[in-house]
Structure 1
Amino acid sequence: MTGGGGDYDAVVVGSGYGGSIAACRLAAAGVDVCLIERGRRWAAGDFPTNVVGLLSAVRVESRNWRIALGKKDALFQIHEQGDSLAVVACGLGGGSLINAGVIAPTPARVKKDPRWPSEWNKDWDACEASATSALSAQSIPTEFYNARIMRELAREALEDCVESPVKLSIDFGGGRGGGGGCLGCGNCLSGCPYDAKNSTDKNYLASAIENGCKVRTGCRAQYVVQNPDFDRLGGRGMRGRRWWICFDDLDYVCADFVVLSGIKLILFLD
């Protein structure tokens, strides 16, 4: 390695729900943080709205057949290895770009599970309310077909919750989403072309950036290595940070703390 692309207190890899919230909380606490995302920024008009567009937004990588088909920054990334198949989103906002934004309260029986840390019980409701507020969850005003299905599922799985527990992180009234509100097109799972879905790039990531978080898109973290000089240098200077997050043999960033969120990496640890 011959160079470095940044020196931070913390680096977050991945911009889905886990990564965006981590970056938001770190930045709000005054930590010098950088968020790394393999994909690109998706504008509402970039999302596919027909079958042809959907097929062009898919990349398939097979370790079994040693092939890769599709654009490297395709919205849908399908990975096959052994007998496993994984589908992930590639873009700033991660999985929030291609899900229906369904939010339901935690069932009481789940909260009572003794395997949860006891400290969580004190803050559970407050944290759940905070997340619901940040994601601008709204009750469904129109009985779309998919909304009826979700309501039936909720009735079976969340019977001990309040009546009509399902809310969506979608703008139904032309507010925070900025695109005039949901039109019920059913395109949630391939990205909202009307900018009505409150994906994490519009809330947690926006807040993180406002608090000083640096965002690097189009960067695929290949591996994380421990700085062999860290102990000798005592953590001083760019090359004195504990970790190197490498994109290739020449480009990398340094940090004392690394948060891996929904990402596949090769780790070289002592």
Structure 2
Amino acid sequence: MSASDEHFDAVIVGSGFGGSVMAYRLAEAGLRACVLERGMAYPPNSFPRSPAGMKRNFWDPTGGLYGMFNVWSFSGLASVVSSGLGGGSLIYANVLIRKDEEWFVREDLQNGGTEYWPVTRTDLDPHYDRVESMLNGQTYPYAESTSKTKAFKHAADTLGLDWHLPKLAVTFANEDEEPVPGEPIHEEHGNLHGRTRYTCRLCGECDIGCNYGSKNTLDYNYLSEAKRLGAELRTLCEVTTFAPRDDGGYTVRYVQHDPEGAPGTPVAELPIRTLTTDRLVIAAGTLGSTYLLLKNRRAFPGISDRLGERFCGNGDLLSWALKCADVSNGRRLPRVIDGGHGPVITSTIRIPDTTDGGDGRGFYLQDAGYPEFANWMMQMIDSPKALWG
């Protein structure tokens, strides 16, 4: 069978939080599924760490770059997304928080309301349970000895706010064992990379790729299980067009990048490969899926003209805590937070919503950190006197 004749029961474009789950569940149901991922696979110890390596860790195939970070820029907004097997799970900060049951509001959208949830927390809880089980969510076990975690809890207690340790998609300990950094992780079926993984080494590198396999990214669970059940996972395969077939199903066209043999070849100059499928799942992320649908909208006249509008950055805000001080004994002494110790995020503060005593929309604060190697720079800038006297 030639490449142009290949047919699958389902083709999934993208391998992130949407695509990986679909691949696993469709394969579990006995369907022949194929995942097309534009980026590379990242087994343990493959994420770059040197300045030269990080310089090339961006996605720009025309420029010969096939790395993990893809920067999208718009008027008034920039976004960093992931390119790689596992999608955004490769670079997110591991937090598994269920939407607060009080925050499933149902406002009148015709009279000034902005939010209406057609489901409740009760509806979603069984699905939350399944995802947490697949991602092996664990709470951070070293809170009492971690500076940033203790400081964050102290701030919450001082302000009278709710503080807790959320579940994280990180393996700190094997089942029924005590947490020990750097222990081999026990896996029932292994993983698609065929590599040994290790429990969290507390190095703060979650957002730039975990080289120890401690972070339970989607390639270690949903995608590994999908492959075990027969799904095909194709990397460096970038979808260009798709359209309905006259006899039902869809035609999908893509190109395969070749970083070693033909680096920097523009997409338009790469050979086109073709698949047909009964079911097509577009799961290329918030920006990638919208881009592909807009690019192929002529083939789908039923697509809304509003596609791509009302995009929201989710209200995310990143800030720094600098010049921290300990004033507990009446004196102002430098307080080293040591943001590079532990995973990026260890704990969460809940800010109340108007539905439960707050003044506006409820939200969460988290103690985001940074890679351990950045501690040298941050502590020298923040409190040099505390280091050198």
> Which bracket does the TM-score occupy, shorter chain normalised?
0.7 to 0.9
In the alignment, what sits opposite 1:75? Answer: 68
Contact 1:104-1:165 at 8 Å conserved across structures: no
> Within 5 A, what are the aligned runs for 1:71-110?
71=65, 73-110=66-103
> Within 5 A, what are the aligned runs for 1:37-52?
37-52=37-52
Amino acid in structure 2 at the alignment position of 1:250: I
In the alignment, what sits opposite 1:203? Answer: 221
Supply the distance in 2 between the matched residues of 1:105 and 1:165 (Cα, whole angstroms): 13
Supply the distance in 1 between the matched residues of 2:102 and 2:218 (Cα, whole angstroms): 28
In the alignment, what sits opposite 1:260? Answer: 282
1:210 Cα deviation after fit: 1.7
Is the partner of 1:124 in helix, strand or coil? helix
In the alignment, what sits opposite 1:126? Answer: 126
For normalisation by structure 2, the TM-score amounts to 0.56
Quick one: structure 1 residues 51 and 20, their matched pair in 2 at CA, closer, same or farther if it must change by over 3 Å? Answer: same
Gaps of at least 5 residues in structure 1 are: 62-67, 236-241
Contact 1:151-1:166 at 8 Å conserved across structures: no
Supply the distance in 1 between the matched residues of 2:52 and 2:154 (Cα, whole angstroms): 32
CA root-mean-square deviation: 2.9
Supply the distance in 1 between the matched residues of 2:221 and 2:156 (Cα, whole angstroms): 26
- The equivalent position to 1:219 in structure 2, one of 233, 237, 242, is 237
Q: Deviations over 1:128-156 (max 9, x none)?
A: 1111110001010123466568879999x
Quick one: structure 1 residues 97 and 5, their matched pair in 2 at CA, closer, same or farther if it must change by over 3 Å? Answer: farther
1:10 Cα deviation after fit: 1.2
1:56 Cα deviation after fit: 1.9
In the alignment, what sits opposite 2:355? Answer: none
1:113 Cα deviation after fit: 4.4
Percent identity at matched positions? 30
1:11 Cα deviation after fit: 0.7
How many corresponding residue pairs?
Answer: 245
1:180 Cα deviation after fit: 2.3
Quick one: structure 1 residues 45 and 146, their matched pair in 2 at CA, closer, same or farther if it must change by over 3 Å? Answer: farther
Contact 1:5-1:251 at 8 Å conserved across structures: no
1:43 Cα deviation after fit: 1.4
1:91 Cα deviation after fit: 0.8
1:121 Cα deviation after fit: 5.2
Is the partner of 2:18 in helix, strand or coil? helix
Amino acid in structure 2 at the alignment position of 1:92: L
Supply the distance in 2 between the matched residues of 1:5 and 1:250 (Cα, whole angstroms): 13
In the alignment, what sits opposite 2:315? Answer: none
Amino acid in structure 2 at the alignment position of 1:10: A
Amino acid in structure 2 at the alignment position of 1:117: P
Which is higher, the Rg of structure 1 or of structure 2? Answer: 2
1:5 Cα deviation after fit: 5.7
Contact 1:150-1:166 at 8 Å conserved across structures: no
Q: Deviations over 1:65-117 (max 9, x none)?
A: xxx6451x211111335554332111100110111111113211134547333
Supply the distance in 2 between the matched residues of 1:210 and 1:154 (Cα, whole angstroms): 45
Is the partner of 2:10 in helix, strand or coil? strand
Work out which structure has the larger RCO, using CA pairs closer than 8 Å and 6 or more positions apart in sequence: 1
In the alignment, what sits opposite 1:239? Answer: none
Amino acid in structure 2 at the alignment position of 1:55: K
Is the partner of 1:247 in helix, strand or coil? strand
Quick one: structure 1 residues 185 and 92, their matched pair in 2 at CA, closer, same or farther if it must change by over 3 Å? Answer: same
Supply the distance in 2 between the matched residues of 1:208 and 1:153 (Cα, whole angstroms): 43
Gaps of at least 5 residues in structure 2 are: 108-115, 174-182, 188-195, 256-270, 302-389
Supply the distance in 2 between the matched residues of 1:69 and 1:205 (Cα, whole angstroms): 29
Supply the distance in 2 between the matched residues of 1:152 and 1:52 (Cα, whole angstroms): 39
1:206 Cα deviation after fit: 1.1
For normalisation by structure 1, the TM-score amounts to 0.79
Quick one: structure 1 residues 85 and 153, their matched pair in 2 at CA, closer, same or farther if it must change by over 3 Å? Answer: farther
| Pairing 1:182–2:183 present | no
Amino acid in structure 2 at the alignment position of 1:99: Y
Amino acid in structure 1 at the alignment position of 2:227: I
Is the partner of 1:27 in helix, strand or coil? helix
Supply the distance in 2 between the matched residues of 1:152 and 1:14 (Cα, whole angstroms): 41
Is the partner of 1:185 in helix, strand or coil? coil
Contact 1:47-1:191 at 8 Å conserved across structures: yes
In the alignment, what sits opposite 1:116? Answer: 117
Contact 1:140-1:147 at 8 Å conserved across structures: no
